[in-house]
Amino acid sequence: MSATTESPVETHEVGYAEQGNMPLRPAKGSKLMGAAANYIDERTSVSGLVKEVGRKIFPDHWSFMLGEVALYSFVVILLSGTFLTFFFQPSMAEVTYNGSYVPLKGIDMSAAMQSALNISFEIRGGLLFRQIHHWAALLFIAAIGLHMLRIFFTGAFRKPREINWFIGFVLFILALAEGFTGYSLPDDLLSGNGLRIIDGMVKGIPVLGVWISYLLFGGEFPGTAIVSRLYSLHIMLLPALLIAMLGAHLLLLVINKHTQFSGPGKTNNNVVGVPVMPVFAAKAGGFFFIVFGVIVLIASLFTINPIWNYGPYDPSPVSAGTQPDWYIGFADGALRLAPPHWEVVWGGYTVSFNILVPIVVLMGLLATVAFYPFIEGWVTGDKREHHILDRPRNAPTRTAIGAALMTLYAALWAAASSDLMATHFKLSIDQVIHVMQFLTVVGPFIAFWITKRVCLGLQRKDREIALHGHESGRIVRLPGGEFIEVHTPLTEYERWTLVSYNEYEPLMVRPNERGVITPVERVRAAVSGFFFEDRISPVTKAEIEASHHDSHGAIDAGDSHH
């Protein structure tokens, strides 16, 4: 649009007239809007962007809103957090509380704790905004988690979206870091204990641990520096990284276009859905206000993090049943599950396996999640772009791996409440921990096996329906005396959803061009076998035709075991 030059008549239409369309032609009663749009476009060439993005198509499915929930709660976090910064003092200077909350009057605490109490008890709407901020943060992380599960189980991470999956994973880690740093700021008893646990974990790191803790806390724990340092990270560095990553995440979403579920009319080469302007914009914009409204509603009805009940941090007291915020639970639970005496002294140096092993397990879990798309892509060798989502049952091994990872996560997470389970259900803590240890080690394998069997069973059921139609419940007696149940045939549309999915076979190891079978290829073949050995092939046209001739055709015909 830089070609637009000043000329006496109709300057603003020159550029568009040449292209044969005039998107900014003023409509009735919107002369001012037209002039404003022209003003901006002549200085930004924004019309190109509007033309490009304005009618972009977004497919519709309820599960696609999970990422939106995360995005909108992040906006709510930014808004409410900014309000809180106007009042919060990130300082550990000691003060004597003299505010309006009577039970804490006269008690020594940090300025941070005092200002957090003042936000809650002196400022109108302060408590509301604190609770909005906290609830929105919890919703943010929960929505990210569910969004990741949706992406994983539908295979939306496949080419070309592997990098965006990884960016999303980084966003998840940043969100956890934001959660933890924010949780620590009020300097109350619970958050101080959380930091104490971090300090203890960091000290368990070989060689550098003590130094990292010492530098982090500005001396010995708890020191007087940690709150202001975490504050810098919480309100500046981490949000900046989050926003940058979020920008990249959304940019790639626009470039790759959204995936869609398989269905009639939907192909790998198209997107079927509603355009950004106006339908998607109205839906998504409205949805932002709904998410915002629900968060505020929760914040006005339910208390979260009542720091005034906990009191200021003191290294000596702690209440029974201490719990981290739920999203840190899996890390805390991992620490609880280490058996006694896992510490050794080697050559005079102390190695704390009771801390290192949980850390390694957590890192392993997170690394598997982060790199899964690359692993699956390497196993299948499939370099095609995939824009049609898998139904989870149609990728049984992936779905089973997902279930196994979820079980591991759930076992670790539940272990963080081991003491509460013991007291609520009148069990001994030893029993609860031993059950959790068992579930952590064996649970993922059980979940894997069950999930895979269920997926294969569902696929068989799909085959049966695709071949023979739905059971009508109507029993008919044939002239020969035979009883049969009448099946209602599927429509073409119903059948398409059942038969159109990707199938992979196990990799056959073959020598490469130099006539050797590399060890890497052997590993790949083994993993490929693990993935695709048990599989149910989609129904073929020939099978459908055969089933028309013989209504008792073998249902398990496609059930091939190599």
Partner 1 sequence: MADHDDETLAGSAVEKAEPQKISAGTAVIPADPFENPGEPQHHIRMTDKDPAEEKRAARQVSTLFFASIVFSCLAVAAYIAFPIKDGDTGSIRLNNLFLGLGIALGLLAIGIGAVHWSKAIMPAREITEQRHLTRGSDATRAKAVEVFELGNKESGFGRRSLIRNSLFGALFAFILPGVVIFRDLGPKVDPNVVLRHTLWKKGMHLTLDPSGTRIKAADVTLGSAFHVIPESLLDSEDLLEEKAKAAVLLMRLKPEDLHEPEGREDWQYNGIVAYSKICTHVGCPVALYEQQTHHLLCPCHQSTFDVTENCKVIFGPASRPLPQLPITVDDQGYLVAQSDFHEPVGPSFWERDRA
Copy the structure tokens of residue 106. Answer: 């006269």
Which of these segments, 28-36, 46-54, 143-151, 404-412, binds partner 1 (CB under 8 A)?
46-54
Packing angle, helices 238-256 and 65-85, rounded to 10: 150
Residues sharing a CB contact under 8 Å with residue 452, sequence separation 6 or more, in sequence order: 396, 397, 399, 400, 534
Report the nearest approach of partner 1 to the CB of residue 369 (Å). 22
Q: By C-beta, is 48 or 457 nearer to partner 1?
A: 48
Report the nearest approach of partner 1 to the CB of residue 541 (Å). 5
Report the nearest approach of partner 1 to the CB of residue 545 (Å). 10
Site for partner 1 in 80-119 (CB under 8 A): 100-102
> What residues are paired with 389 via a beta bridge?
261
> First vs last Cα of the chain: how many Å apart?
61
Three-state SS string over 81-119 comes to: HHHHHCCCCCCCCEEECCCCCHHHCCCEEEHHHHHHHHH
Site for partner 1 in 112-171 (CB under 8 A): 120-125, 127-128, 131, 160
Q: By C-beta, is 331 or 447 nearer to partner 1?
A: 331
Which of these segments, 21-29, 83-91, 171-179, 539-547, binds partner 1 (CB under 8 A)?
539-547
Q: Note every long-range contact of 482-486, with CB atoms under 8 Å and residues 24 or more positions apart, other chains counting.
A: 484/551
Which of these segments, 21-29, 36-44, 451-459, 492-500, binds partner 1 (CB under 8 A)?
492-500
- How many residues sit in the footprint of partner 1 (CB under 8 A)? 143
Position 234 contacts partner 1 (CB under 8 A)? no
Instruction: Report the residue from 38, 63, 228, 354 that binds partner 1 according to the rule CB under 8 A.
Output: 354
Site for partner 1 in 270-289 (CB under 8 A): 270-275, 278-280, 282-283, 285-289
Using CA atoms, how far apart are residues 294 and 139, in angstroms rounded to an integer? 10
Residue 472 is which amino acid? S
Q: By C-beta, is 197 or 450 nearer to partner 1?
A: 197
Position 506 contacts partner 1 (CB under 8 A)? yes
Position 41 contacts partner 1 (CB under 8 A)? no
Q: If 0-12 CB within 10 Å is exposed, 13-18 middle and 19+ buried, where does residue 408 land?
A: buried
Residue 331 is which amino acid? A
| C-alpha neighbours within 13 Å on the C-beta side of residue 117 | 27
Position 389 contacts partner 1 (CB under 8 A)? no
Report the nearest approach of partner 1 to the CB of residue 395 (Å). 12
Report the nearest approach of partner 1 to the CB of residue 355 (Å). 7
Q: Note every long-range contact of 128-132, with CB atoms under 8 Å and residues 24 or more positions apart, other chains counting.
A: 128/296, 128/299, 128/300, 129/80, 129/83, 129/84, 130/84, 130/305, 131/298, 131/299, 131/300, 131/302, 131/303, 131/304, 132/76, 132/80, 132/295, 132/296, 132/299
Report the nearest approach of partner 1 to the CB of residue 252 (Å). 10
Site string for partner 1, 300-339 (x = CB under 8 A): xx-----------xxxxxxxxxx---------x--xxxxx
Site for partner 1 in 407-426 (CB under 8 A): 418-419
CB contact at 8 A, 389 and 154: yes
* Dihedral (CA of 458, 446, 142, 424) sign: positive
Position 342 contacts partner 1 (CB under 8 A)? yes
Site string for partner 1, 188-227 (x = CB under 8 A): -----x--xx-xxx-xxxxxxxxx-xxxxxxxxxxx-x--
Which of these segments, 25-33, 233-241, 296-304, 468-476, binds partner 1 (CB under 8 A)?
296-304
Q: By C-beta, is 47 or 172 nearer to partner 1?
A: 47
Report the nearest approach of partner 1 to the CB of residue 273 (Å). 6
Using CA atoms, how far apart are residues 456 and 97, in angstroms rounded to an integer? 63
